Amino acid sequence: MNLTHLHLLLNHVPTVGSVIALAILLLSFIRRDQALKHAGLEVLFLIAILTLPVYISGAAAQREIRNRPEVSTTAVRVHQDAALAGFAMTEFAGFVAWIALWQSRRRGGEARGLVAATTVLLMLALALSGRAANLGGEIRHPEILADVTADPAAPALSHGEGSADDKQRFVAAAISSYMVNSRWAWPAAETVHFLGLSLSFGVLLAVNLRILGMLRQWTFADVHRLLPWGMLGFGANLITGMLFLIGQPGQYVQSTPFFWKVVFLMIAGANFLYLTVFTKAWTAKGLDANVVDKAMALTSLLAWLGVLLAGRMLPFLGNAF
């Protein structure tokens, strides 16, 4: 099995998952059910996490098939741009869902405006993911091939490496060209990546050390209030990380440490959701967490450490710079 298999396995997650999350959210409006609303937001957050390996494995699949004569480079690039749009919108929707979850956990009430915004963003994400899925199908399923080649406005089919003016027609190609050719883009993105890392680490230390039984003067509400700062650092790193991936996919998609970095990210992301929504009422100081919560806190610290170690080892165990 290679990463192309993984892409074919996972590529229905954004569309099918978004339909499920949307259905749960709409049902929660009809039934006026708070628990169901939270479930919809949580499912959406998990879908946003899982969409990351979908995009990454897609970049790997692109490299597997790009030199095959029967595969149109144009069709692949059209799919890639559509997938990038779907990915970005799904992440944005997942981010707003997270804010809604965080706020309702903190204030106890409903975050009505945020849930409405999440629902709209989710519909957009579903539309964009659906378009990406359809265009992805056209790469390998000639029976549904229609739009890309029949549209007179569409660029002519090309094969192989792709033409030099790809970067003027396709967003991902333009980003890649800029990241590689600009003297400052890559170093600047690396710098932001390290600043984001530091911010996330500070928050994760405070939150998880508290759950593990240190920082007894803090209530749970106190550490919970810090979570958005961790999310800010993570958001900066997701964006800059995607710039690296789009910039030089060949450095990452077949790299062993990158594979493990993404695995640790999945674990850490699910763990972050748990930290955001778990229902323990730590309103008083000095309360002790139970064994499960402590195990979750330890997992969180180890998973993020794993993300850092695997990421830092990319140039040495892989071929990234």
Partner 1 sequence: MGVLDWIETTRLAVWMQDSQSILAFPAVLTLHTTGMGLLVGASWMLDLRLLGINRNVPLSAYRWVFPVVALGLVVNLTTGVMLFFKNATTWGTSIPFLVKMCLVVASAATIVPMRSYVFHTGAEQSPSTNARLLAIVSILTWSGAVTAGRLLAYLAV
Binding residues (CB under 8 A) for partner 1: these are 187, 190-191, 194-195, 197-206, 209, 214-215, 217-218, 222, 225-226, 229, 305, 308-309, 312-313, 315-317
Nearer CB in complex with partner 1: 229/260: 229
Nearer CB in complex with partner 1: 16/313: 313
Nearer CB in complex with partner 1: 48/307: 307
CB of 8 to partner 1, least distance (A): 34
CB of 233 to partner 1, least distance (A): 9
Q: Give the Å distances, CA to CA, from 273 to 144, 182, 196, 227.
A: 39, 36, 19, 10
Distance of alpha carbon 45 from alpha carbon 110, whole angstroms: 17
CB of 160 to partner 1, least distance (A): 31
Nearer CB in complex with partner 1: 102/218: 218
Nearer CB in complex with partner 1: 33/190: 190
In total, the chain counts a number of residues equal to 321
CB of 196 to partner 1, least distance (A): 10
Nearer CB in complex with partner 1: 198/279: 198
Q: Give the Å distances, CA to CA, from 181 to 25, 72, 176.
A: 44, 26, 8
C-alpha angle 171-162-188 in degrees, rounded to nearest 5: 40
Q: Give the Å distances, CA to CA, from 42 to 91, 94, 114, 177, 301.
A: 13, 9, 14, 36, 21
CB of 315 to partner 1, least distance (A): 8
Report the amino acid identity of residue 8. Answer: L
Contacting residues for 178 by C-beta, under 8 A, at least 6 apart: 185, 247
Q: Could you tell me if 48 and 94 are in contact, meaning their C-beta atoms sit under 8 angstroms apart?
A: yes
CB of 298 to partner 1, least distance (A): 17
